[in-house]
């Protein structure tokens, strides 16, 4: 009987692997591909050139007023940003007190970074710091009036500070609220189900601007005289409710993807509703909808600019406000300001997006 020996594996032909192989397959496979590749390259080079000209070659980098930005061929007017940076970050927060804002930013970052790094230790202490201690700390530091801190009215807050306060509150509130609403919408009890359904459909059916208007103009009409709570606070509540309605639908999508067998297996082991939900259903459902959750976060982050409508100045609002400053009126002031604000928003949103991709990969437990 002949004995069978497997053939040894040979390396793939050189023209199909490595960079050359990749380029052949992806860039130059057909005449159409070649044309597209060439056209695309030319476009990218042209666009890059325009941007570099504007942001660096023709830009002004120093100066104290508009005269710095009136060259015949003028690019970006960076001195404008430089001069207004304090305003853009803190709004009209008193300059002597901005250290308080910085401290809040710093502790926020210090709490968030180890939370986001999966291998960092002391996760439960970290969660307690972020959800228990930090909100109180931030509230006391930012509003003042306690521990000898000068009170600062929220009407004086502005810029990135307001953007972050609104976005972070919205993000932190919308996920738990959204989860509860999504669970409620699938409840067997009709009262809970219809309440959640009604809430979700009402808030999803109206524009955020309307919600903010309602919160800032209509709400006080319903409150008894003398009860008057803060405009920013009302906006925060409006944004949190609005985004939790969206979040609920995202989470519900994940809940629906969980097979019935998971509920049955959990029930057969003796786990009750809340344990099943917390240990079996939500971890899987939320993992499935990470892209949708982050999408909602990103949408929320950018929608914070709408607080402008009720007279709060977020980052974009305050940048626009300073366009009216006559000492910086140049043809390039607007575009420079918008590019700056856009870049700041983009950095935050891009970071969220990348982190979500990182988490998706990390949590994937399929055959690895």
List contacts with other proteins (CB under 8 A).
259, 261-262, 264-272, 275, 279-280, 283-284, 287, 363, 365-368
> Which of 288/310 has CB closer to other proteins?
288
Distance (Å, rounded) from C-alpha 202 to C-alpha 222? 19
> Which of 171/255 has CB closer to other proteins?
255
Distance (Å, rounded) from C-alpha 294 to C-alpha 255? 17
CB of 363 to other proteins, least distance (A): 8
CB of 259 to other proteins, least distance (A): 8
CB of 118 to other proteins, least distance (A): 15
Kind and range of the H or E element at 190? helix 190-205
Contacts with 202 (C-beta within 8 Å, 6 or more apart), sequence order:
245
298: left (phi over 0), alpha (psi -120 to 50) or beta: alpha
Contacts with 212 (C-beta within 8 Å, 6 or more apart), sequence order:
235, 238, 239, 306, 307, 309, 310
Would you say 115 and 130 are in contact if contact means Cβ atoms under 8 Å apart?
A: yes
Contacts with 55 (C-beta within 8 Å, 6 or more apart), sequence order:
75, 76, 339
> Which of 179/236 has CB closer to other proteins?
179
CB of 124 to other proteins, least distance (A): 14
The DSSP annotation for 295-327 comes to: HHHHHHHHHGGGGGGGT--BHHHHHHHHTT-GG
CB of 287 to other proteins, least distance (A): 7
> Which of 37/284 has CB closer to other proteins?
284
> Which of 35/267 has CB closer to other proteins?
267
Look at residues 254, 237, 264 and name the one whose alpha carbon lies nearest to residue 185: 254
CB of 356 to other proteins, least distance (A): 17
Dihedrals phi, psi of 229, to nearest 5 degrees? -105, 160
> Which of 196/255 has CB closer to other proteins?
255
> Which of 42/269 has CB closer to other proteins?
269
Would you say 166 and 307 are in contact if contact means Cβ atoms under 8 Å apart?
A: yes
Look at residues 63, 87, 88, 86 and name the one whose alpha carbon lies nearest to residue 76: 63
CB of 257 to other proteins, least distance (A): 12
242: left (phi over 0), alpha (psi -120 to 50) or beta: alpha
CB of 20 to other proteins, least distance (A): 35
CB of 187 to other proteins, least distance (A): 17
Contacts with 50 (C-beta within 8 Å, 6 or more apart), sequence order:
none
C-alpha pair distances (Å), 364 with each of 295, 308, 361: 19, 40, 5
> Which of 226/259 has CB closer to other proteins?
259
> Which of 30/361 has CB closer to other proteins?
361
CB of 274 to other proteins, least distance (A): 10
170: left (phi over 0), alpha (psi -120 to 50) or beta: alpha
> Which of 131/267 has CB closer to other proteins?
267
């Amino acid at each position: 009987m002949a004995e069978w020996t497997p053939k040894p594996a040979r390396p793939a032909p050189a023209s199909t692997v490595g960079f050359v192989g990749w380029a052949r397959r992806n860039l130059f496979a057909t005449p159409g591909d070649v044309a597209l590749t060439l056209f695309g390259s030319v476009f990218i080079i042209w666009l890059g050139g325009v941007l570099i000209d504007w942001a660096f070659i023709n830009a002004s980098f120093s100066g104290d007023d508009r005269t710095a930005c009136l060259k015949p061929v003028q690019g970006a007017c960076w001195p404008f940003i430089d001069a207004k940076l304090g305003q853009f970050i803190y709004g009209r927060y008193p300059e002597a007190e901005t250290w308080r804002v910085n401290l809040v930013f710093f502790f926020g970052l210090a709490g968030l970074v180890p939370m986001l790094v999966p291998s960092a230790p002391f996760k439960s202490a970290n969660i307690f710091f972020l959800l228990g201690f930090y909100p109180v700390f931030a509230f006391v530091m930012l509003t003042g009036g306690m521990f000898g801190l000068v009170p600062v009215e929220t009407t004086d807050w502005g810029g990135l500070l307001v953007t972050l306060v609104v976005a972070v509150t919205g993000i932190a509130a919308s996920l738990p609220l959204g989860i509860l609403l999504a669970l409620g919408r699938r409840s067997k009890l009709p009262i809970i189900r219809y309440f959640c359904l009604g809430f979700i459909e009402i808030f999803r059916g109206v524009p955020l601007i309307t919600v903010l208007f309602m919160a800032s103009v209509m709400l006080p009409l319903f409150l008894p005289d003398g009860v008057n709570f803060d405009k920013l606070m009302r906006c925060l509540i409006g944004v949190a409710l609005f985004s939790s309605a969206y979040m609920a639908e995202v989470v519900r999508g994940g809940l629906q993807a969980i097979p019935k067998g998971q509920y049955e297996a959990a029930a057969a082991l003796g786990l009750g509703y809340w344990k099943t939900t917390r240990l079996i259903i939500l971890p899987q459902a939320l993992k499935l909808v990470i892209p949708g959750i982050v999408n909602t976060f990103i949408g929320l982050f950018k929608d914070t600019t709408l607080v402008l409508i009720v007279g709060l100045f977020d980052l974009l609002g305050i940048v626009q406000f300073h366009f009216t400053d006559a000492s910086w009126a140049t043809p390039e002031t607007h575009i420079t300001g918008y590019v700056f604000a856009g870049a700041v928003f983009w950095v935050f949103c891009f970071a969220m997006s990348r982190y979500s991709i990182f988490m998706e990969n990390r949590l994937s437990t399929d055959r690895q």
